[in-house]
Amino acid sequence: MTDTTRDTDEPSVDQTPAQRQAPEQQSTARHRPPDQRQSVDQHWTVVPAPEQQPAEAGRMDLRTTMAINAGRMAASMSQRLGLGSGGMIGGRLALTLQPDLLQRLATGRRVVMVTGTNGKTTTTQMVAEAMRAQAPAVSNATGANMLDGHVAALLTRLDAPFAALEVDELHLAQVTDRFEPAAILLLNLSRDQLDRVGEVRTVAASLQRALAQAPGAQVIANRDDPNIVFAAAGHPNVTWVSGGVRWRDDALNCPQCGAFIGDVDRDWRCQCGLARPSADWKVTDTGVLDAAGTHHELALALPGHVNRVNATFALAAALHLGGEEAPALARIRRISQAAGRYDTVRLGGRRVRLLLAKNPASWLEMLDLVSGNDEPLVLVVNSREADGYDVSWLWDVDFEMLRGRSVQVAGDRALDLAVRLRYAGVQANVASTVEVALGSTFGGLPDVIANYTAFRDVLTRSRT
């Protein structure tokens, strides 16, 4: 069996019935709901790392030890046989043998969960690196972001006191039903894979239920996204990050009552009482301002405003877990790619930069990133299960910003993309493959922007 890792968008077809339950069906009986009052002026505090150390396999019961050993063996075999990274199969087998393994492996660790529609993989890598300035940390760096991927990550080093785990938005409640993480990062919510995930408000309500199951966690949340504010406002411990709202179309109406909010760039307040909280961190053009008004230079290797926002979330999490700013930032600054995103690779005999865009919000960020240069540009779109079969979202993307440039398009839905570009007034040439598209470009360092499975395919071909 081939073992493949997936990002948020790829559902698991081999989960147990308990894992396939909708988040709203997860039991919350053992948790006390938080105070529902909205807090608009809360600040993070430094909490020292735990004295308790993660339990080692030798101190666990026989069943747990057998599950750990079997999971590690399966992951290793998958890697050796070239079937995948082992980021899923090892965790899946171990969970089958010991259904309580996730909470057992999390005991004694400070775990940071990262969720949202966009930016999870990059932010999770930043969090992991920032925590490694203090002590060893494990992470599901390949993007396997459901329970089996979390177990596989925790199996890699049982004595690591920290863990940074990317979590699918609809599976956060499954995680918090099993254990309470030290911190939960809520990045953003926008429409994505409507045929699997559903409407944005459905996801926001699921996140709200997940947070109710973790009243002791520190929540670090995006105060500029009304959907995130709705999910997090009732939690007793929230640090609010402000990075601005680029994609507004999913944030114009109040997620609590449905009333029109309007300009979400301002300090909005809905008639029902939901309002934009005061910011503890404010992202600037070069860095970030903390609650005291002190400016921190970020100087990242990763490009764009969106990565300054991601880095701010990671820095806030690291400081909450007792880290020091200078060493944490030093490690964040050294990150130049995340699971292939923003990486420069060789493809079709050319050096190219790979960029991932999966939905209107992320396409907006990536198009803004490339609009400031005249490098050759290739756009690739598929519509497989992990992407979502519906590509009507192409008409929500502001491709008009590419007017005046010649663009190459490829992928399963190249013709749909070419039609959309024609209506946007952008000259587009359809190619049978990305390599053929690159052969029609000359000079410079081409940018290849691709959605999920297209990006994965291109990245795989670049490594062969």
Told to judge if 263 belongs to the known catalytic residues of this protein, a careful annotator would answer no
Distance, in Å, from the CA atom of 328 to the CA atom of 305, rounded to the nearest integer, reads 19
Distance, in Å, from the CA atom of 336 to the CA atom of 343, rounded to the nearest integer, reads 7
Q: Is 402 annotated as a binding residue?
A: no
Q: Is 270 annotated as a binding residue?
A: yes
Give Cβ neighbours of residue 240 (< 8 Å, ≥ 6 apart).
Answer: 42, 221, 222, 223, 277, 278, 279, 280, 281
* Residue type, position 389, single letter: Y
Nearest CA-CA partner of 180 in 262, 83, 112, 94: 112
Q: H or E segment at 231?
A: helix 226-232
Q: Is 272 annotated as a binding residue?
A: yes
3-class DSSP state for residue 426? Answer: coil
Q: What are phi and psi of 182, to 5 degrees?
A: -70, -35
DSSP letter for each residue of 370-401 = HTT----EEEE---STTT-S--GGGGGS-GGG
Q: How many CA atoms lie within 13 A of 382 on its CB side?
A: 17
Distance, in Å, from the CA atom of 166 to the CA atom of 181, rounded to the nearest integer, reads 12
Contact 231, 38 (CB under 8 A): no
Residue with tokens 């009507």: 392
Residue with tokens 């795989």: 460
Contact 139, 165 (CB under 8 A): yes
Distance, in Å, from the CA atom of 411 to the CA atom of 435, rounded to the nearest integer, reads 11
Contact 153, 138 (CB under 8 A): yes
The DSSP 8-state label assigned to residue 239 in this structure reads E
Distances 43 to 30, 211, 292, 363 between C-alpha atoms, Å:
27, 18, 10, 32
- Using only the alpha carbons of the chain, give its radius of gyration: 22
Pull the structure tokens for residue 86: 């082992």
Which one of the listed residues 249, 390, 412, 416 is annotated catalytic?
390
Nearest CA-CA partner of 280 in 294, 288, 291, 295: 291
Q: Is 329 annotated as a binding residue?
A: no
Annotated binding site: 254, 257, 270, 272
User: Which residues are known catalytic residues?
Assistant: 390
Annotated binding site for Zn(2+): 254, 257, 270, 272
